[in-house]
């Protein structure tokens, strides 16, 4: 490729760091390449080129960032603080260019240098600082907060190793460490002076202060330091840049002087290494065991740094700490940061000398809590002994909060000792545990679930006692996703069509997509719609060919399930359908079926054996189906390794059918379901999570519904559900399960999938068998519908047209109105 680097004539009119013209971008790129990377075009690697462009874009964001900080300081505005242990922002470059409105300018500037913008975008490694939906939701919220110009700061942990990289060997998942920081991260700005000390271990002492007041002093065993590393988050089409502030752990000094003076140099260095381990690695969720010390330590670490930082910022306003809740609203993303309730009390009482009632007045008016799951195994609790050994002072505070809280419960329900022990923050039914969800409920003024059904079930089941006590604390905030990343960035063809049809600006006002309804039956519009889908399907086919060497047919129905692998999400129900189709074709090779490509993506927790077995099963079935000439051209099965935000951007636009098939009552919301639908995929789904609301919005005639409702699931269980009877009574199910047990998909090994089959036949905790017949019948309707392109395209258009509710802008608007009481603060450039 010719690299054309001759210097441009000097153009003083536009600043090289802020100018938005092709000319300034081109010059800035060369300038950064030279002065930051120490390179020139002829010898630059992809990494050099990527970074030169990243710095060029970042320069343009920094100007807006500084203006934002100045505006926030000047107006002393109310600010949202979002505390989350996970963030999955996806690659930044493309999104930042989109927000700046500079993509085409950059493309041209690079083309003049003989470089391809898309190749540089594709080069970026994404920060995998989350497991799945919860971390990605946090990232969508950051995008919407900035786009809606809400003053906000997001706090988390700068894991050195994010979520593991998934490799597939012989059909099995293996985990490789993520090394996203290996070549450095051009988007972050290290703030060495924004650093706080965090303590752990040791014991507490009581004493009387100068005013003869009883006080407690914590004498910790160890101290760490957290250093702030900031990433700018720019809103779409505005000047607002909010900070994502991630904490990185360090030793308090590079040398432990005591150890050093006694000659223990290596001990001192070791200590530094130990400190760093706190922010070393992200914990994969869905792991069977609980009670990991390091995880609690991580939570305390980032929460403590964040609260100290908020107090410091608050003190610059000259307002007393008793008004902290007037300046900040702090959102706890699940229970991971719930220790904040005790930590803020400690900081206010022990460090800032407030008395208990003052401190509680602030604390209980500052925090709000979002619950993201009903699964009992995902509700965090810590063994009391472990908690005490790490955080002795916090345990005392938790006990005190609990004692006062339980008095309140007894007053309200005087004859109900059971209720008191059910609600206690300390679970004393066996070995003692600290229940983090209870601490969150007691310490927060607002509690919400993430979809209507989920919020209702929360109030009726897991948090029923708290709802009885404080009904006004509860509300629902149905999740949403950002149309910027998941429509504009992922699907430029669709974006262009929408721009032409409903006018630019729809991505900030998704209601405008309603206008598409008028075109749903127009043949010419339908033609364009299908061409866009086909283009994305071809692109995914190319990716599959390159990565897996499997050829897939872009005219076949792309049936996609992409999400974490979990029994409740029922990827294996999807597999049973594939086996059933395969079996139909083997028995009747002439059968005329709708050709389908089944595509899976998702990681399994490293210690979750059943989930890993499901991945193996998908591969086992794929190996047979993809090689069998009898079904060639009609069935294909593909597993896309290492599903990520980056890969997701290829997947959503290419889907015809979106699999949202969890057992009703188990998926809190789901957000992939929204992203598929926005890109015109039709959903096959249960009445679970946000599926319920998606179906309400798009209309039941544009949604493939199957399966038991959450109530029916409960009833079936209560009535002594017997999966074996279902197996015996449904020949197609029996046939599929028998084929699965036969060893066909395991090269003759009849034992390999036995744990899966045994579980299904004897327990079937997630009611696959109960939903099988309904699922198959529904899939047959899908296949039939796909044969009518006019009808299918109409449904597809209506899905996209009716998705406005699921923009994260709507969700954030509701949080701002009902919980945070925050309003927009526009930022002007000087
Ligand atoms: C997940 C739920 C999803 C939901 C996301 C975001 C956890 C604990 N929960 O259904 O399983 O969409 O949170 O709310 O990761």
Average pLDDT across each block of 10 residues of the chain; the chain has 830 residues. List them in order.
Answer: 45 78 97 95 97 98 97 97 98 98 98 98 97 98 98 98 97 95 97 96 95 94 95 98 97 63 68 80 73 89 98 96 98 98 98 97 98 91 96 98 98 97 97 98 98 98 98 98 98 98 96 98 98 98 98 98 98 98 97 98 96 98 98 97 98 98 98 98 98 98 98 98 98 98 98 98 98 98 98 98 98 98 96
54, HSE (Cβ side, Cα atoms, 13 Å)? 25
What spacing in Å lies between the alpha carbon of 453 and ligand 1's midpoint? Answer: 13
In the residue annotation, 734 being an active-site residue is answered as no
Residue from 327, 537, 563, 634 carrying the catalytic annotation: 563
Identify the pLDDT of residue 3.
43
Q: Which two tokens stand for residue 571?
A: 């990827």
CA atoms of 422 and 816, how far apart (whole Å): 32
In the residue annotation, 75 being an active-site residue is answered as no
Q: For the chain, give percent helix, strand, coil, nearest 5.
A: 55, 15, 30
Q: Which two tokens stand for residue 8?
A: 């441009």
Residue from 51, 325, 372, 612 carrying the catalytic annotation: 372
649 in Cβ contact with 92 (< 8 Å): no
165 in Cβ contact with 175 (< 8 Å): yes
pTM above 0.95, yes or no: yes
CA atoms of 287 and 291, how far apart (whole Å): 11
In the residue annotation, 563 being an active-site residue is answered as yes
Identify the pLDDT of residue 150.
98
In the residue annotation, 828 being an active-site residue is answered as no
813, with CB counted inside 10 A (0-12, 13-18, 19+), is middle
User: Which of 85, 661, 668, 710, when mutated, tests ligand 1's pocket best, judged by the most ligand atoms within 8 Å of its CB?
Assistant: 668
What spacing in Å lies between the alpha carbon of 449 and ligand 1's midpoint? Answer: 10
In the residue annotation, 671 being an active-site residue is answered as yes
Contacts from 402-405 at CB under 8 Å and sequence distance 24+?
402/426, 402/442, 405/442
What spacing in Å lies between the alpha carbon of 132 and ligand 1's midpoint? Answer: 8
Identify the pLDDT of residue 1.
38
589, with CB counted inside 10 A (0-12, 13-18, 19+), is exposed
Residue with tokens 């009726």: 460
662: helix, coil or strand? coil
User: Which of 132, 570, 663, when mutated, tests ligand 1's pocket best, judged by the most ligand atoms within 8 Å of its CB?
Assistant: 132
388: helix, coil or strand? helix
In the residue annotation, 352 being an active-site residue is answered as no
What spacing in Å lies between the alpha carbon of 370 and ligand 1's midpoint? Answer: 10
Identify the pLDDT of residue 433.
97
Identify the pLDDT of residue 283.
87
What spacing in Å lies between the alpha carbon of 448 and ligand 1's midpoint? Answer: 13
The set of protein residues with a Cβ atom below 6 angstroms from ligand 1 is 133-134, 137, 334, 372-373, 378, 450, 479, 667-671, 689
CA atoms of 206 and 14, how far apart (whole Å): 63
């Amino acid at each position: 490729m010719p690299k054309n680097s001759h210097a441009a004539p000097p153009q003083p009119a536009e600043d090289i760091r802020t100018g938005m013209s092709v000319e300034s971008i081109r010059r800035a790129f060369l300038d950064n390449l030279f002065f930051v990377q120490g390179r020139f075009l002829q010898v630059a690697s992809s990494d050099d080129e990527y970074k030169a462009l990243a710095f060029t874009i970042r320069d343009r964001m920094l100007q807006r960032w500084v203006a934002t900080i100045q505006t926030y300081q000047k107006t002393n505005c109310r600010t949202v603080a979002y505390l989350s242990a996970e963030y999955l922002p996806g690659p930044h470059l493309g999104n930042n260019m989109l927000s700046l409105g500079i993509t085409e300018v950059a493309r041209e500037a690079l083309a003049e240098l003989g470089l391809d913008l898309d190749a540089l975008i594709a080069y970026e490694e994404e920060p995998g600082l989350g497991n799945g939906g919860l971390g990605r939701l946090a990232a969508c919220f950051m995008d919407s907060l900035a786009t809606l110009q809400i003053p906000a700061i997001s706090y988390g942990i700068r894991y050195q190793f994010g979520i593991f990289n998934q490799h597939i060997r012989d059909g099995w998942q293996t985990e490789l460490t993520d090394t996203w920081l290996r070549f450095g991260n051009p988007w972050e700005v290290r703030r060495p002076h924004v650093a706080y000390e965090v303590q752990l271990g040791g014991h507490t002492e009581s004493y009387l202060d100068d005013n003869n007041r009883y006080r407690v002093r914590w004498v910790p065993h160890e101290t760490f330091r957290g250093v702030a590393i900031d990433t700018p988050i720019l809103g779409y089409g505005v000047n607002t840049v909010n900070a994502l502030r991630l904490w990185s752990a360090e030793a308090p000094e590079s040398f432990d002087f005591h150890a050093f003076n006694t000659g223990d140099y290596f001990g001192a260095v070791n200590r530094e290494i130990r400190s760093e381990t706190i922010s070393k690695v992200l914990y994969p969720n869905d792991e069977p065991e609980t009670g990991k010390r390091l995880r609690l330590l991580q939570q305390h670490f980032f929460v403590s740094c964040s609260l100290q930082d908020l107090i410091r910022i608050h003190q610059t306003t000259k307002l007393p700490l008793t008004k902290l809740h007037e300046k900040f609203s702090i959102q706890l993303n699940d229970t991971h940061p719930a220790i904040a309730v005790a930590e803020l009390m400690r900081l206010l009482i022990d460090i800032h000398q407030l008395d208990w009632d003052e401190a509680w007045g602030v604390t209980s008016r500052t925090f709000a809590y979002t619950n993201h799951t009903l699964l009992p195994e995902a509700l965090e609790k810590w063994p009391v002994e472990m908690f005490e050994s790490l955080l002795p002072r916090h345990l005392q505070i938790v006990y005190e909060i609990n004692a006062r809280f339980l008095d309140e419960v007894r007053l309200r329900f005087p004859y109900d000792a059971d209720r008191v022990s059910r609600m206690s923050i300390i679970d004393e039914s066996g070995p003692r545990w600290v229940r983090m969800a209870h601490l969150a409920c007691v310490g927060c003024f607002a509690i919400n679930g993430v979809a209507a059904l989920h919020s209702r079930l929360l109030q009726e089941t897991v948090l029923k006692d708290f709802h009885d006590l404080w009904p006004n604390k509860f509300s629902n905030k149905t999740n949403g996703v950002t149309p910027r990343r998941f429509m504009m960035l992922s699907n430029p063809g669709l974006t262009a069509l929408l721009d032409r049809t409903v006018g630019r600006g729809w991505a900030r006002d998704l209601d405008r997509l309603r206008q598409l309804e008028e075109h749903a039956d127009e043949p010419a519009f339908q033609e364009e719609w299908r061409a866009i889908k086909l283009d994305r399907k071809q692109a995914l086919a190319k990716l599959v060919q390159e990565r897996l060497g499997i050829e897939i047919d872009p005219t076949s129905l792309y049936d996609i399930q992409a999400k974490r692998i979990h029994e409740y999400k029922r990827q294996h129900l999807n597999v049973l359908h594939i086996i059933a189709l395969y079996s139909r074709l083997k028995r009747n090779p002439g059968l005329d079926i709708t050709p389908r490509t089944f595509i899976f993506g998702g990681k399994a927790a490293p210690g979750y054996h059943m989930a890993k077995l499901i991945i193996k099963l998908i591969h086992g079935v794929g190996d047979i189906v993809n090689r069998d000439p009898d079904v060639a051209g009609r069935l294909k099965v593909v597993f896309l390794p290492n599903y990520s935000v980056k890969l997701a951007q290829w997947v959503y636009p290419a889907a015809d059918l979106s699999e949202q098939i969890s057992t009703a009552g188990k998926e809190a919301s789901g957000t992939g379901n929204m992203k598929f639908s926005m890109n015109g995929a039709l959903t096959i789904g249960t009445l679970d999570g946000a599926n319920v609301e998606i179906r309400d919005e798009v209309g039941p005639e544009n949604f493939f519904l199957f399966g038991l409702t959450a109530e029916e699931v409960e009833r079936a269980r209560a009535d002594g559900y017997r999966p074996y009877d279902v197996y015996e009574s449904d020949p197609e199910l029996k046939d599929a399960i028998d084929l699965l047990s036969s060893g066909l998909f395991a090269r003759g090994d009849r034992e390999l999938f036995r744990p899966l089959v045994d579980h299904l036949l004897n327990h079937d905790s997630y009611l696959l068998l109960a939903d099988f017949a309904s699922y198959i019948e529904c899939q047959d309707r899908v296949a039939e519908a796909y044969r009518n392109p006019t009808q299918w395209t109409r449904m597809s258009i209506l899905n996209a047209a009716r998705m406005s509710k699921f923009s994260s802008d709507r969700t954030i608007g509701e949080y701002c109105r009902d919980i945070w009481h925050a309003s927009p603060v526009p930022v002007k450039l000087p």
